[in-house]
Amino acid sequence: MTPAVTVDCGAVLFDMDGVLVDSSGVVERSWRSWARRHGIAESVVMPLIHGRRALETIALVAPHLDAQAEWQVLIRQELEDTEGFRAFPGAAALAGSLPLDRYAIVTSAPRSIAVDRLRRGAIRVPAVMVCAEDVSRGKPAPDGYLLAAERLGVPAGDCVVVEDAAPGVQAGLAAGMRVLGFTTTQPAEAMGAATWLVPDISCVRAGEPVADGVRLTLTTPRR
């Protein structure tokens, strides 16, 4: 059995979808419907949807469309469709065990969807949450993670990012942070140079409080 790993940091910065909540069915149904409506092959769209803001995905696959208008359509679809949605087991307990000034959520989702999904999953809404509207560049740019660290007052290099998709891993590393990757959405080989890999949030525990920070224990780490 792989020994557990202890990680000390100043703050934990969570992605949301694929990390705290399982919204994959909702997101994928929404994008497939959108692709069919515009006559775009799903094989072109689907590999690009995880970890990115919808604005960036639309710009990549359909630059001729009004990305803001199309984004609003996708938001409405995802707010109305909750079939199969769930919080990952252990997510609410882990978030609830962390000091409010020591964790944040950095998501590519708009704030309306982020708050709705956290509340549906009975996950505490943190004091610091950076959403799609809060940055001019989404993941894989580091802007969201750097903004979260700034708002928490924690040096970027003392933060640990928790991600499930390659663009988010790239964003965390570009911000100078360590990255804990989950293989809930993409396979391990897609997670690039993530510092650690575990299957999901059930493998993460909050340890005893440490001075000016958080202690996490990772069970069954792959590296």
Yes or no: say if 122 and 65 are a contact pair by the CB < 8 Å rule: no
**Residue 158 a catalytic site member:** no
Amino acid type, 25: G
Please tell me which residue in 17, 22, 143, 200 is annotated as part of the active site.
Answer: 17
**Residue 15 a catalytic site member:** yes
Residue with tokens 């809404």: 125
Q: Where are the alpha helices (DSSP H) in the chain?
A: 24-37, 42-45, 54-61, 67-80, 91-97, 111-120, 143-152, 166-174
Yes or no: say if 6 and 215 are a contact pair by the CB < 8 Å rule: yes
Please tell me which residue in 8, 15, 116, 143 is annotated as part of the active site.
Answer: 15
Strand order in the sheet with 178-182: 129-130, 103-106, 11-14, 159-163, 178-182, 196-198
Instruction: Please identify every residue annotated as catalytic.
Output: 15, 17
